[in-house]
Structure 1
Amino acid sequence: MQEHTIDTRISPEVHLTVLSRAEVNKLLDTSQGGLYQLLHNCALAVLNCGCDSDDGKELLERYSDFSIKVIQEERGIKLDLKGAPAIAFVDGEMIKGIREHLFAVLRDIVYVSNEINDNPKFDMQSSEGVTNSVFHILRNANIIHQSTEPKLVVCWGGHSISREEYLYTKQVGYEIGLRRMNICTGCGPGAMKGPMKGATIGHAKQRINHGHYIGITEPGIIAAESPNPIVNDLVILPDIEKRLEAFVRTGHGIVVFPGGAGTAEEILYVLGILLHPDNAEIPFPLIFTGPESATDYFRQINEFVGSTLGFEAQQRYKIIINDTARVAREMKLGIRQVREFRRSKADAYYFNWGLKIASEFQQTFTPTHENMAGLELHKNQEKHQLAANLRKVFSGIVAGNVKDEGIRAIEKYGHFEISGDKEIMQPVDNLLAAFVSQQRMKLPGTAYVPCYKIVS
């Protein structure tokens, strides 16, 4: 059944007020080389903010009549929307934050197409080229400023969490905001929205009128995690790998709340980077936290890390249970160490150039059935390389759970089959089974059918 929708035409207030004719034509091009489908899908996800669904395929089918068209006029551009979700409007007028996000999507799609893709300036097969592309995308989105002070806390965690866990994330955000730090998340619901909501209250009490709430996403996940309107700086990276690099390059510390496969992917990503020998001396505050009810969850995470990556990896994070003020104090102390370290090295505060990110964390991993079956999941490799391969396991499961292309691949070919050494696969199987039993794979009330199978 078609949902209630609205037709409208809107103009930009902040982002990208003019486009060339060539850019407009490419945005309207529905061919394989055109940008229309990318713009359509990302725009629909932004407009769907607040809807209780995390199924990218279902969203596209529910609003099958939705269309978006770029109108070029003498005084600038407008977006013509047909069949837009009514949830994005109040009394017929689009919510201002959602309108800003729509034009942020347009800005990033145009920039990546024109300035990054097929540009010899960026060698996307090299580590340096990928990092430079991430920097330029963030700079174009006005995320990077030379005057930046180290106070940006990245918050990771699940979109499918309990009410108690959500309120805890909100309280942590409040404590962070009281200490004059800013928030960066994946920009969606759950553990991504809670810290931002809390920080707005903390900032208000400190009379901080320009709190920074950065949302970093990518086209594959945005439909399942529609940006919440608290985000006042939204940026769309081309894929999950560049999105993750954007988090660790711009953030000064990371707080991890309970979550599912996506959160496990993020944990493995940051631990794999911190385990690289070149990063051994770089301070990077990393805190896992949740309410009392999350004790078993973090025990499982800690056991999984110990069983797969070892004791050294466990030493790179702190686990704090049910103490929101301590989380904020520890983060502020950790960021102070980051500041002192970067000052001693004459490194920038706004982008962590000194962090070594190996190419296995940067090259795009496409979770096809063949690629998932071919992952090297054995003990006989460097820990940071094992972390990179384990990250891909969870990245593929996220795709099969909530991304449009991943869901369609599972429907067509069946489960992803994942295999490796028993010492690796047993902890993976145990952790995934816990996520399923705790309803962390999909939103509560949604029946979960596993998209994966552990094979011997």
Structure 2
Amino acid sequence: MPKRQKNNAEVSPKGSLETLSQREVQQLREAGSGSLYPLFRKCALAILNTGAQSDNAKTILEAYADFEVRIHQQDRGIRLSLHNAPADAFVDGQMIASTREMLFSALRDIVYTQSERDNRQVDLQSSAGITDYVFHLLRNARAMRAGVEPKLVVCWGGHSISTQEYKYSKKVGHELGLRGLDICTGCGPGVMKGPMKGATISHAKQRNRDARYLGLTEPGIITAEAPNPIVNELVILPDIEKRLEAFVRLGHGIIVFPGGVGTAEELLYLLGILCHPDNSELPFPLILTAPKTARQWLVQIHQFIGETLGEAAQKRYQIIEDNPAEVARQMAAGLIKVKNFRRERSDAFHFNWLLKIDEGFQRPFAATHENMAALHLQSDLPLHELAANLRRVFSGIVAGNVKENGIRLIEQHGPYQIRGEQRIMQPLDALLRQFIEAGRMKLPGALPYQPCWQPVD
């Protein structure tokens, strides 16, 4: 590996944390030397490493093993002192503005998350309590805009995609921006960047100076997928389950582009929620789309949903092939239904309180070998429960692919063993192997992919 260039620098807040109470400053100083420091260091390194062609958290951390960040108190707030930071985060010795904003957003979210958890009034033992916790985290990050009509479109898809797929996601983003719609993604590369990049041009054409490019991530993901520089609002949720709930509570509609296991996890999460009986009448526009070159992905994912969850789940989404303008038109039409429904029910535009989410979708899933082997994959489960367990399978594989802890577990104990009914296991294994063949498991240029799972009858 070539030697990495590194810089030392001192930076003050911009975009977040400009004004702080004495108590908040003390919390941040404690974070700089206490148990939160390793977590903040990992997130800070990922943000400073924006643009790197690696999705392996372990590799990035090892390349900058001597990176340090320290928090200092000053008259009106704090200052960060960085040592051996990635040089690409600077221009002529000055940190890039978007990087500086995201760096302090990470510090804000990590400290506030811990502060909320320490609050005895926070209830993480009930579904309603977890939803309230997510609401408080998003409100602290100023991610909700009260009174603004529904126009936030979530875009899901892979980081390891072809050039044609990336250009297609940009075209869809451009069409969304022409219609005044804002973009929310997982904030990384690939499909998480393409729609944002396309929308920047169309928002400029429409002279929209308040366009939002919202990125939602979590510590295990951000260390593997650094935020792309277009993101102008970054929010770090404490785990993947809180992140997924934030997507569906904040977003007014979702577009799914080609992707791998992470995209499948997100889609199964949403389908499991939408298939809950309590959500049967709730409008939630969901569109699966791809260019002609990726038509096979649409066929494969649609077939997998049909073979595992059935026709009821397939009816909850539209498939639109190779037509960016039609995707945007259908999404805009769907958002009108969302607006009317929420007005009739007196639900907030900025947070979907009416959406029923079972605790099974909210409880953090630890991707250990024991937990993966114990997942119940049987067709006799209620539809939304089977979707929840399938989501956990894909979540575990994401962990084994790119998350530091997951990679180490696979290195120590070998592949996860996944057991289940053959009617479920056969299409599951087929889809995963199709992802490998299509190169959807790793960034281009990586070593040949080694599966981190084994199907067991």
* TM-score, normalised by the number of residues in structure 1: 0.98
1:434 match: 434
CA offset at residue 210 of structure 1? Answer: 1.3
1:372-397 alpha-carbon deviations (Å, 9 max, x no partner): 00000111110000000000000000
Alignment pair present for 1:311 and 2:315: no
Q: Measure the CA separation in 2 of the matches of 1:450 and 1:399.
A: 12
Q: Deviations over 1:8-56 (max 9, x none)?
A: 00001221133635313421235xxx10001000000111100100000
Distance 1:127 1:120 in 2: 17
| Structure 1: tracts of 5 or more residues without a match | none
- Pairwise CA distance, 1:110: 1.0
CA distance in 2: counterparts of 1:52 and 1:176, whole angstroms: 28
C-alpha distance in 2 between matches for 1:367 and 1:29: 29
Equivalent positions of 1:111-150 (< 5 A) are 111-114=112-115, 116-150=116-150
Q: Deviations over 1:200-252 (max 9, x none)?
A: 11101101011011000000100221111111110000000000000000000
In structure 1, distance between residues paired with 2:51 and 2:316? 35
2:387 & 2:9 partners in 1: Cα distance? Answer: 47
Runs of 4+ in 1 over 2 A off after TM superposition: 17-22
C-alpha deviations, 1:238-281, integer Å up to 9, x for none? 00000000000000000000000000000000000000000000
Partner AA of 1:352 in structure 2: N
* CA distance in 1: counterparts of 2:404 and 2:426, whole angstroms: 29
Distance in 2 (alpha carbons) for counterparts of 1:125 and 1:377 = 25
Which residue identity does 1:406 align to in structure 2? G
Which residue number corresponds to residue 29 of structure 1?
Answer: 33
Look up the equivalent residue of 1:350 and give its one-letter code: H
The CA deviation at 1:93 is 1.4
CA RMSD, 1 decimal: 1.0
Quick one: which amino acid aligns to residue 455 of structure 1? V
C-alpha displacement of 1:113: 1.0
The answer to whether the 8 A contact 2:241-2:362 is kept is yes
More off after superposition, 18-27 vs 429-438: 18-27
In structure 2, the partner of 1:44 is: 45
Question: 1:7-406 to 2 correspondence within 5 Å?
Answer: 7-17=8-18, 18=20, 20=23, 22-30=26-34, 34-114=35-115, 116-406=116-406
CA distance in 2, matches of 1:57, 1:253: 34
Quote the offset at 1:121 in angstroms.
Answer: 1.8
Deviations 1:381-440 (A, max 9, x none): 100000000000000000000000100110011111101000000010000000000010
| Number of residue-to-residue matches in the alignment | 452
Structure 1 residue 298, shift from structure 2 partner: 0.8
Q: Distance in 1 between matches of 2:164 and 2:60?
A: 27
> Secondary structure at 1:221's aligned position in 2?
helix
Q: Contact (CA 8 Å) 1:378, 1:386: kept in 2 or not?
A: yes
Q: Which moved more, 1:61-70 or 1:8-17?
A: 8-17
Asked whether the equivalents of residues 372 and 418 of structure 1 are also in contact (C-alpha less than 8 Å), the reply is yes
Residue type at the aligned position of 2:50:
C
Q: Please tell me the residue identity of whatever aligns with 2:40.
A: L
Residue identity matched to 1:109: I
In 1, Cα distance between equivalents of 2:391 and 2:30: 34
Looking at structure 2, the residues matched to 132 and 81 of structure 1 have their Cα atoms a distance apart, in angstroms, of 35
Using the alignment, how far apart are the partners of 1:294 and 1:57 within structure 2? 31
CA contact (8 A) 2:28 2:111 kept: no
Bigger shift: 71-80 or 431-440?
Answer: 71-80
Q: 1:119: Cα distance to partner?
A: 2.1
Question: Displacement of 1:145 after TM fit?
Answer: 2.1
Distance in 1 separating the partners of 2:202 and 2:186: 20
Letter matched to residue 64 of structure 2? Y
Question: Does the Cα contact within 8 Å between 1:155 and 1:184 map onto a contact in 2?
Answer: yes
**Does the 8 Å contact 2:410/2:452 carry over to 1?**
yes
Q: Within 1, Cα distance between the matches of 2:162 and 2:88?
A: 23
Q: Structure 2: how far apart are the matches of 1:140 and 1:426?
A: 44
Paired with 1:164 and 1:145, the residues of 2 have a C-alpha distance of 34
> Deviations 1:70-94 (Å, cap 9, x if unpaired)?
0111232111001111111122211
Deviation at 1:120, TM superposition (A): 2.5
